[in-house]
Chains A and B, each alone.
Chain A
Amino acid sequence: MKNSFDEKILDEAQDWINANQKVVLATVIQTWGSSPRQVGSRMIVNEKGDFSGSVSGGCVESAVVSECLSLIKDNKPCKKIEFKVSNESAWEVGLACGGEIAVYIEQIH
């Protein structure tokens, strides 16, 4: 069950902003099949690539970080990214659990 009022990730986002960092918020907006983190799970990424929180069980965080960095670099407001089942024969990012998730990334500005 969600513990939304006690969830601290958005407070952390504000701390980062107050420290003059650029912050991208990543949110799980849809899941299909089995996925480790439920809809509404969040992580934040700054322009240095530091991150906090999670959107999966460690499967796609690194890909989300690089997408967030591109968003800052290209100065775009938002983007939707979908991650599907990983192909074991390829060194690509995917969800080993067999699920699919959609992550929405947006700059806090």
Chain B
Amino acid sequence: MKIKTLEEILKKKSSKTEFAILTNLENGDSEIYLPGTSPKGKFSKYAVEIENFFKSKKNGVIENSEIFVETYIKPIKVIIVGAVHIAQYLVDFAKSLNFEISIIDPRGYFASEQRFPDIKVINKWPKEAFEEIETNSSTALIALTHDPKIDDPALQYALKNKFYYIGALGSKKTHENRCQRLAEAGFTNDEINSIHGPIGIKLGGKSAPEIALSIIAQLVSQTYKK
């Protein structure tokens, strides 16, 4: 690898631009590749394979070749509704897992920056808060307030915008009522059933860090199914 290539990699990393490093293992030549562009020179005939590495978020050697592809993918955006105790543990877990967290909570006393250092905390109702966050089908939503006034508008937004993971905290009973409200609001059964509720995988724990762990485990598993 040339020093110039290394400098370019570091620049792309710090600006959080998605890219790949293509290396010809035969001679060590390497090049930066931006998704959606055409790879140059010797790499040009592997355009499809390189894009597939991006899609599957993987690194590897292209089959029957001596080309190594390493992809740099943007962190997955996770929006938490409810700046509650569980959210504090979720933030801790997410730090080492390539998730970028934003928190929405209209209740000022909860959503203090002191409780969530270095995290984007939006002290507004979901409808207004979503105007400040760019979302798409690679975004996840974790609703933690179990207060319909706050959770429901966020869940509706996430369903309409086809978030890949939507989870909502609350007992079975709370979730049944929530499903009924969503049905009344015009959402289909398939849409409603896509919500993970009660949220999290079954670990058996009831403490805030244990619930956070069960939620993050479910989120990671759904991220790999995506």
Interface residues of chain A, those whose CB is within 8 Å of chain B, are 1-7, 10-11, 13-14, 17, 25, 27, 29-30, 38-40, 77-78, 80, 104, 106-109
Of B9, B70, B97, most buried by chain A (CB within 10 Å of CB) is B70
Of B2, B9, B13, B16, most buried by chain A (CB within 10 Å of CB) is B13
Contact yes or no, B60 A4, CB < 8 A: no
B16 contact from A5, A7, A30, A106, Cβ within 8 A: A5
Which residues of chain A are near B223, meaning CB under 8 Å? 1
A106 contact from B1, B96, B98, Cβ within 8 A: B1
By beta carbon, the residue of chain A nearest B99 is A1
Question: Does B59 reach chain A (CB closer than 8 Å)?
Answer: yes
Q: How far is the CA of A30 from the CA of B68 in the complex (A)?
A: 9
Which residues of chain A are near B75, meaning CB under 8 Å? 3, 5
Contact yes or no, A10 B9, CB < 8 A: yes
Contact yes or no, B28 A78, CB < 8 A: yes
By beta carbon, the residue of chain B nearest A79 is B28
Give the secondary structure class of A's interface. mixed
Question: Does B131 reach chain A (CB closer than 8 Å)?
Answer: no
Which residues of chain B are near A80, meaning CB under 8 Å? 25
Interface residues of B in 19-49 (CB under 8 A from A): 23, 25, 27-28
Q: Beyond the given A5-B13, A7-B13, A39-B58, please list 18 additional residue pairs across the A-B interface where CB-CB is below 8 A.
A: A3-B96, A3-B98, A5-B98, A6-B98, A10-B6, A10-B13, A11-B10, A14-B6, A14-B7, A17-B6, A25-B1, A40-B70, A107-B1, A107-B28, A108-B1, A108-B2, A108-B3, A109-B3
Contact yes or no, B74 A5, CB < 8 A: yes
Q: List 5 A-B contacts (CB under 8 A).
A: A1-B220, A1-B223, A4-B71, A10-B6, A27-B68
In the assembled complex, how far is the CB of residue B60 from the closest CB belonging to chain A, in whole angstroms? 5
Q: How far is the CA of A30 from the CA of B60 in the complex (A)?
A: 6
Q: How far is the CA of A25 from the CA of B30 in the complex (A)?
A: 13
Contact yes or no, A10 B10, CB < 8 A: yes
Which residues of chain B are near A77, meaning CB under 8 Å? 27-28
Question: Does B61 reach chain A (CB closer than 8 Å)?
Answer: yes
Which residues of chain A are near B27, meaning CB under 8 Å? 77-78
By beta carbon, the residue of chain A nearest B7 is A14
Q: How far is the CA of A16 from the CA of B130 in the complex (A)?
A: 43
